[in-house]
Chains A and B, each alone.
Chain A
Amino acid sequence: MNFNINRNELLPALQALSGIVDRRQTLPILSNLLFDIKPESFTITATDMEVELVVEVSAKLDQSTRLTLPAKKILDICRLSPDGAELEFNIKENKTLIKSGKSRFTLATLPAQEFPLVDVVDETVDFSVDQKKLTELLANTEFAMAQQDVRYYLNGLLLEISGDKLVAVATDGHRLAFDETKINASLSNVKQIIVPRKAVTELVKLLHSAKSEVNVSVSKNHIQITTGSLSFTSKLIDGKFPDYKKVVPEPSSTATLADREALKNSLERVSILSNEKYRGVRIAFGKDALSLTAHNPEKEEADEELAVEYQGEEMEIGFNVEYLKDALKTIKTKKVILSVLNPNSSCLILPEKESCCQYVVMPMKL
């Protein structure tokens, strides 16, 4: 069996897939790509058994065959072939001959039926969402996911689909990020899934803020996201996410209104002298002023005053400065609201006049 394809048509697909191919190489077949060629479509698939990416190649071939080829090698062959070169594939029993100009490559193939392909069919919940909105949703929450926590259900992002809303929540037990967006669906019951950390980081790389629709389909064990020529599938985490609603406090009536950029810069300056391990910064809320102080084991100290709008009672709370900085970095509005109920409560950080994203940071004893 033979087919020809232009190197320029193949290369972008292979480059997109190269990130997914298993680096640990636990199974030989996982370092291969599956080429599924049909007259109506030509797709290439990469998987590491946790996440799977299918890319549709624009070229149309009038054949039907399935084969696997070593990912790294085929990518390098394409990459190093001259621009616009025509590649001729000659498929044999368990070898494939690739001819291009005067070069010839014989690659070993593995049987296509041994390639693990996800089958997302059962009990799916489907909806579509604006790609830009989804990208923002992920970017606004992604940073708060836990890393290799024993509470494995925290090593991922909670997605909650209810009515026409998609809620994303991430927490590592010390801080929490919450965001929601509108989707094109109206679901009667609530569906909660946890997308693993790895899948979220891969998704952020794949999606871009173009104005187009993304189709999402959630089955019992998988989530599949399809956009244009890409189809990304990931396994879900088998666990129950903690009830985030209990963690998010009510906004206080006497919240602080601060300039986001100024607060972030002050925190960054003060944090120079905070303990390198615990990153503690003390925040004293006073009348229309915040005072930030930090000190380290070498007895060095930093403090800074910041003018804000605050009418509540005076109090002092310690926070991990990195968590505050992360939240302030993702918020886009000019002013932010810091809401603290009492010296032992967590701090709720909200963008001004825009209620969808919310950040909660737990206090620390200093």
Chain B
Amino acid sequence: MIEILPWQQKQMRQIFEMSKQDRLPHALLFSGPDGIGLKEFSLFFAASRLCLTKGSNDPCGHCQSCELFKGKSNPDIKLIEPDIKTGNFHVDTTRDLVNYTSLKAFLNNDMKIIIINEADVMNRSSANSLLKMLEEPSSQSMFILLSHRPSELLVTIRSRCQKINFYPTYSNESIDWVEKNFDNSKFSADLLLNLAGGAPLKVEALLEEEYLENRAQYLKDLELLNKKKANPVNIAACWNKLGAKSSIHCLMQLTNDLVRLKLSSQVKNITNTDLIDDLQGISNRLDLLKLIRSYDFILLKYKELTGPMNYNSLAILEEIALFWKNYKDSMA
């Protein structure tokens, strides 16, 4: 009915050990990179914790709790997520949550599990009302907060949660999993996982965006900018069309590889292993300082783009393109 992802075994053992010894806290914080499967893990844990057939870590799949879970209607699991349109939590969501936590459980488990996905994007007032619930939890509520950026959470919230960390995975099991779950013949599973930063579920988004196909284009654009043969405004517009966030992400990975190649020309050190020849060519022609500076610059712009300020994505990309084109004039 629901299975644990292969790279999450360690965390599962940890949490079931806590459960067995009856030391589960009232609030847990799962943190790890985007695409590591925090939501999947928390749902698996919730299903198995609420399963009415005791004795196994896996949910049985046929008790009342599991049947309801399959229909996504288990009243003792509440999954709340930011609104897809606005990217924020709706005010009513937290208001409902206060009411939900104050009531007792539905099934005879005496436990309700509240899963808050992307808990770090909560605005101040929502976060404060969540804090209130964490400070004085009702006896039958358990909170699971999921976050890719736990440092963005209120300190007072973070300190009330027991943390379970998930790390990027490059193990053979994860590579096998990528191989099995994503249908693609062009690229090796190894490369896909590397490009996804060790977060296997992110591979899906990469394939959908044709991220891998586009990398060569980005590299060519950088080369053209460097030779001052292209108009940075046009190039930025083209990047923006491909998706600002994934563009910056790709530029970041490419510059990162260029820096690494400059320092040591071994294939095993870089991420975009299939583009080694092109990368090597560009890397040879540029100086280290420029590469490092532009990496820093892109990193800064990435923070601006994903931060709370809502910058114009096109303007940010234009800045990066101009930086590449004008580097010599402004810095040398």
Q: Name A's B-contacting residues (CB within 8 A).
A: 24, 27, 29-30, 49-50, 110-111, 113-119, 121-122, 148, 150, 152-153, 155, 196, 220-222, 235-239
Contact = CB atoms under 8 A, between A and B. Distances in A.
Max chain A CB contacts within 10 Å: which of B96, B99, B101, B104? B104
Nearest to A113: B67
A236 B98 contact: no
Contacts of A114: 67-68, 70-73
B105 interface: yes
Contact of A50 (B71, B103, B110, B132): B103
Contacts of B88: none
B108 interface: yes
Contact of A236 (B67, B68, B74, B103): B103
A118 B103 contact: no
B87 interface: no
Interface string B113-129: 00000000000000000
Given A27-B72, A29-B71, A116 B103 contact: no
Interface string B59-95: 0000010011011111100000000000000000001
A142 B73 CA distance: 31
A231 to B, nearest CB: 16
A68 to B, nearest CB: 10
A152 B105 contact: no
A121 B102 contact: no
A237 B108 contact: no
Contact of B108 (A30, A119, A148): A119
A25 B102 CA distance: 20
Nearest to B112: A238
User: 9 closest A-B pairs (Cβ-Cβ)?
Assistant: A114-B71, A152-B102, A221-B104, A49-B75, A238-B138, A238-B104, A235-B103, A113-B67, A29-B73
A111 B110 contact: no
Nearest to A123: B108
Given A29-B71, A29-B73, A116-B75, 18 more contacts: A24-B96, A27-B73, A30-B73, A114-B67, A115-B73, A116-B106, A121-B108, A152-B98, A155-B102, A196-B103, A220-B110, A221-B105, A221-B108, A237-B104, A238-B102, A238-B103, A238-B138, A238-B141
A110 B98 CA distance: 29
A113 B71 contact: yes
A237 B103 contact: yes
Contacts of A148: 95
Contacts of A29: 71, 73
Nearest to B138: A238
A50 to B, nearest CB: 6
Contacts of B98: 150, 152
B136 to A, nearest CB: 10
A186 B232 CA distance: 86
B273 interface: no
Interface of B: 64, 67-68, 70-75, 95-96, 98-99, 101-108, 110, 132, 138-141
Given A153-B102, A196-B103, A116 B73 contact: yes
Contacts of A115: 71, 73
Contacts of B138: 152, 238-239
A155 B99 CA distance: 9
A54 to B, nearest CB: 15
Contacts of A237: 102-104
Contacts of B108: 119, 121-122, 220-221
Contacts of B105: 221, 235
Nearest to B71: A114
A49 B106 contact: yes
Contacts of B140: 221, 238
Nearest to A235: B103
Nearest to B95: A148
A239 B139 CA distance: 8
Contacts of A235: 103-106
Contact of B104 (A121, A122, A236): A236
Nearest to A120: B108
Contacts of B106: 49, 116, 118, 221, 235
A222 B103 CA distance: 10
A153 B104 CA distance: 11
Contacts of B141: 238
Contacts of A222: 104
A269 B53 CA distance: 64
Contacts of B73: 27, 29-30, 114-116
Contacts of A236: 103-104
27 contacts: A27-B73, A29-B71, A30-B73, A49-B106, A113-B68, A113-B71, A114-B67, A114-B72, A114-B73, A116-B75, A116-B106, A119-B64, A119-B108, A152-B98, A152-B101, A153-B102, A196-B103, A220-B108, A221-B104, A221-B105, A221-B106, A221-B108, A222-B104, A236-B104, A237-B103, A238-B102, A238-B141
Given A111-B71, A238-B139, A239-B138, A119 B107 contact: yes
A222 B107 CA distance: 10
A50 B107 CA distance: 12
Residue with the greatest number of chain A CB neighbours at <10 A, chosen from B103, B108, B140: B103
Nearest to A29: B73
Contact of B110 (A119, A221, A239): A221
A122 B96 CA distance: 28
Contacts of B99: 152, 155
A116 B74 contact: yes
Contacts of B132: 150
Contacts of B71: 29, 110-111, 113-115
A238 B104 CA distance: 5
Nearest to B129: A150
Contacts of B64: 117, 119
